Structure 1
Amino acid sequence: MAKLITDLELKSRIKDVKGNIKKGEYSQKEISCGSGLSLIIGKHTSTFRLQFIPKGHKSKVSKTIGEYPNISLAQAFKKSNEIRATYTEEKKAPLFSEYWNTWIDYYKNNVTKKTVQKTQSYYNKQLCKFNDFRLDEIEPQLVLDVFNSLEGISPSNKHDAICMLQQCLEYAQISLHLIDLNKPLLRGLIKYNFKRPSKEHMLWIHAEELKEKFFEMLDKETDKYRLFYLLCVLTGLRDGNINALKWSDIDFSNTESKYGVITISKENMKESENGDYKQPLTKYTSILLKRWKEQNYRDGDIYVFSGIRDKNKPLKIDYFRETIRAKEMNNYMTLHGLRTTFSTYMAQVEHKQGFNRDRIEEILAHKPKNISDVSRIYNQCGYLPEKMEILTYWHKYIVENQLTESYLELLQK
């Protein structure tokens, strides 16, 4: 084993190297401190690095320890020993059940609360099958066998759950050194056995087909269902956002727009980094929502589409989606596809009408392509007048050309 450098020797070497860097002989230099620890000396910073091949491993591990003199030589050696200890061959990886909470605690600091809840549902229904296995025992063949044995789980959900398992194992491998770094994990399995299926929600129809293929097909539904479907068409929002719309999200007296504003908290939006979502009410959406509130609001109602038994929860969205499936409309369209219908129609008229494409994307709750993240943070202008102009044009087209009599009745004051 190479002789360990002393603190006095290190300071002397640093002084010599700094002098040579100043003369231009080199831009940086690495000096050995012994036992796999070295100090990389640059013009402005000096960084400790540990390199070693753990017992039972084939490849070299390289870890940055910290910057000198913020971390002393003695502290760097101590940290090196701690890192080496995590790679001892005798150390056993924890059970998946024991590790899951560690992973969730880390993960929830980087994503929204809604994403954490979705991740936990993957664990409760699928990933809990690995609870009795140690992390280093979760091999691709085991994962393949477990997921092939699961019943009643859609291919899309299996794909998402395996991707989450992959992230979990990567964190254990790279950050906590609980799994051999050479282990390939599950990427090949995801790529070849559990590809994300082509999304059904991409099915859509043209705006000119809405009357025949959408409104006429749903003409006999109840007022609640017809209101829901009409709002999906008019607002361009995701059906999940319409279903979860609260009365507190709707301000009919908001002076930012003539008829009021819908404001949805960023925590309830898919593109949460865009901030709170705002859409101006038009004459048509204002009439729809006011009339519905006057006729159906019960004291204490939270949601526009309150649950049947519990008014503190929204009606299950599957009720609305199942109607589409029952009529076999899902063979050519889905509720999510109505967003494509709106976007495509606006693409056909935006140049002639002088509409800004960024405003159309904002109505769809997408991040505008022509606005940087920094600009979006500092520019809090909602562009409500521009959005109002776009939505009014769209709504007028729908009302005058695509609605059946039963849907027009919803707009009568």
Structure 2
Amino acid sequence: MQRKFNFTKVEIDSLPLPDKGKRNTYQDSRTNGLSLRVSSTGVKTFCVFKRIKGGSPERVTLGRYPDMTIDQARRKTMEISLAISEGKNPAESKRKLKSELLFGDLFGDYLERHSKPKKKTWLEDHEKYKNHIEKPLGRKKLSEIDRSTISVIHSNITKTGHPIAANRILALISSVFGWAISAGLWEKNPALGIRRNKEKSRDRFIQSDELPKFFQSLADESSDIIRDYVLISLLTGARRSNVCSMKWQDINFDRAEWRIEETKNDTPQIVTLSPEAIEVLHNRKTNSESEYVFPGKGKRGHLMEPRKGWERILNRAGIKDLRIHDLRRTLGSWQAKTGASLAIIGKSLNHKNQSTTAIYARLDLDPVRDSVNTATNAMLTAAGLVKPGEVLEFKKKNTK
């Protein structure tokens, strides 16, 4: 099926799907040579179909819609038409370019054109690439990377005792190749078909007998930024990235609330602040000159990577196999221990679950606040820091 019309977003979005196994081709009435191919699965791909001087017709794939916009496709078509008029073969040039493209260059494009604009976790993508992918793949041509190459990377990370991390690295490599295909930069994904390691839900949280040495190690931490960051992470159950980028303007001391504008679930969240959390924040606010609660020296202005400080705390406490994200699980677990319902826990931790969304929507913050405060008091009591019902004041460490 072929039809010519003026390519617009409204027209393209409303195109019908062809029968299974079929493909429809449409031509742009504004730009000679620009076509759109629509598959039965809904994939829409821009391409240029031109006869090269002295040769047979060539089809040059431009990219998938909507990753490639209509205007981008039109500009690319005009560039190709000009090249053909000068006696060049863009299809051959593109094939040659593909064979020479390095994975490091492809990842750079992926980061700038896909990860940064669309993923809040793009910094994690960059970190994974630097730590695990750049050395084995960065200088390899795409044509040199096959399933065996990627499987070795996955296997090596697994052997170091990090099977889950190996799966995440594999997923990132697959995502890069998948994006390259959609952008018309490559034709296949060599990461497909590699068996991933089995994963089980993590249930680690700080146990009762670990709390005293954990809080003692916190008290001995030389960096007040790291110490208070860990405390706020534990007392709020908020995600690492949200705590790192916490701003003073988002904290209401009168209502004891913290508003997180952007969350993993793409919905704002109101976090209730226990008296202990308010005490920590008041102490930090006294001498703060930054817009961020936990300032950093990097370009973003706030704390980015608390891992080294976290490792110091665990080493002093003699606690193993505990991650920063487990602080979030710790609050939820202690809420459950002190009788909170799953709906209350889900509301306080901003879990997004289709089956309980309606329940969450009807909850106000009072029962959530009561649950968080009760769980906090239970943790501090187990740590031997307060008697039941008391409020602990976290005094700033005197570093003079």
Secondary structure of the 1:118 match is helix
Secondary structure of the 2:271 match is strand
1:358 equivalenced with 2:318 (yes/no): no
Structure 1 residues 173-192: aligned runs within 5 Å: 173=181, 176=184, 178-179=186-187, 185-189=190-194, 191=195
Alpha-carbon distance in structure 2 between the residues aligned to 1:111 and 1:365: 21
Equivalent residue number for residue 66 of structure 2: none
Alpha-carbon distance in structure 2 between the residues aligned to 1:117 and 1:170: 19
1:390 equivalenced with 2:371 (yes/no): yes
Equivalent residue number for residue 234 of structure 1: 235
Which residue among 275, 282, 301 is the counterpart of 1:283?
A: 275
Alpha-carbon distance in structure 1 between the residues aligned to 2:304 and 2:185: 45
Q: Relative to structure 1, is the Cα distance of residues 109 and 399 closer, same or farther in structure 2, using a 3 angstrom cutoff? A: closer
1:141 equivalenced with 2:148 (yes/no): yes
The alpha-carbon deviation at position 178 of structure 1 amounts to 3.1
- Structure 2 unaligned spans of 5+: 4-13, 28-33, 38-45, 51-56, 62-90
Give per-residue Cα distances to partners, 1:167-193, cap 9 Å, x unaligned: 22233346638325xxx622344x25x
Give per-residue Cα distances to partners, 1:120-163, cap 9 Å, x unaligned: 3444555445455443331123335667899x997655543332
Alpha-carbon distance in structure 2 between the residues aligned to 1:145 and 1:45: 43
Equivalent residue number for residue 317 of structure 1: 306
Alpha-carbon distance in structure 1 between the residues aligned to 2:385 and 2:291: 30
- Report if aligned partners of 1:49, 1:65 keep a CA contact under 8 Å in 2: no
Alpha-carbon distance in structure 1 between the residues aligned to 2:327 and 2:309: 14
TM (norm. structure 2) is: 0.62
Alignment length (residue pairs) = 334
Letter in 2 for 1:111: K
Structure 1 residues 11-410: aligned runs within 5 Å: 63-65=23-25, 81=49, 85-86=59-60, 91-92=95-96, 93-94=98-99, 95-96=101-102, 97-104=104-111, 106-108=113-115, 111-112=118-119, 114-128=120-134, 130-144=137-151, 158-173=166-181, 176=184, 178-179=186-187, 185-189=190-194, 191=195, 195=197, 202-206=203-207, 208-222=208-222, 224=224, 226-253=227-254, 257=255, 260-266=256-262, 269=263, 271-273=264-266, 275-294=267-286, 297-298=287-288, 300-307=289-296, 312-314=301-303, 316-327=305-316, 329-331=318-320, 333-350=322-339, 355-372=340-357, 383-404=364-385, 408-410=392-394
- Report if aligned partners of 1:247, 1:303 keep a CA contact under 8 Å in 2: yes
- Report if aligned partners of 1:305, 1:314 keep a CA contact under 8 Å in 2: yes
Letter in 1 for 2:206: I
Q: Relative to structure 1, is the Cα distance of residues 173 and 63 closer, same or farther in structure 2, using a 3 angstrom cutoff? A: farther
Secondary structure of the 1:237 match is coil
TM (norm. structure 1) is: 0.61
Alpha-carbon distance in structure 2 between the residues aligned to 1:309 and 1:98: 25
Q: Relative to structure 1, is the Cα distance of residues 221 and 155 closer, same or farther in structure 2, using a 3 angstrom cutoff? A: same
Q: Relative to structure 1, is the Cα distance of residues 314 and 187 closer, same or farther in structure 2, using a 3 angstrom cutoff? A: same
Letter in 1 for 2:168: D
- Structure 1 unaligned spans of 5+: 8-43, 52-61, 68-73
Secondary structure of the 1:314 match is coil
Alpha-carbon distance in structure 1 between the residues aligned to 2:374 and 2:127: 41
Greater relative contact order (CA < 8 Å, ≥ 6 in sequence): 1
Equivalent residue number for residue 70 of structure 2: none
Alpha-carbon distance in structure 2 between the residues aligned to 1:229 and 1:169: 37
Alpha-carbon distance in structure 1 between the residues aligned to 2:15 and 2:147: 43
The alpha-carbon deviation at position 104 of structure 1 amounts to 3.8
Q: Relative to structure 1, is the Cα distance of residues 49 and 301 closer, same or farther in structure 2, using a 3 angstrom cutoff? A: same
Alpha-carbon distance in structure 2 between the residues aligned to 1:48 and 1:370: 35
Report the identity percentage. Answer: 16
Secondary structure of the 2:121 match is helix
Aligned residues: CA RMSD: 5.1
- Report if aligned partners of 2:205, 2:333 keep a CA contact under 8 Å in 1: no
The alpha-carbon deviation at position 222 of structure 1 amounts to 4.9
The alpha-carbon deviation at position 321 of structure 1 amounts to 0.8
The alpha-carbon deviation at position 262 of structure 1 amounts to 1.0
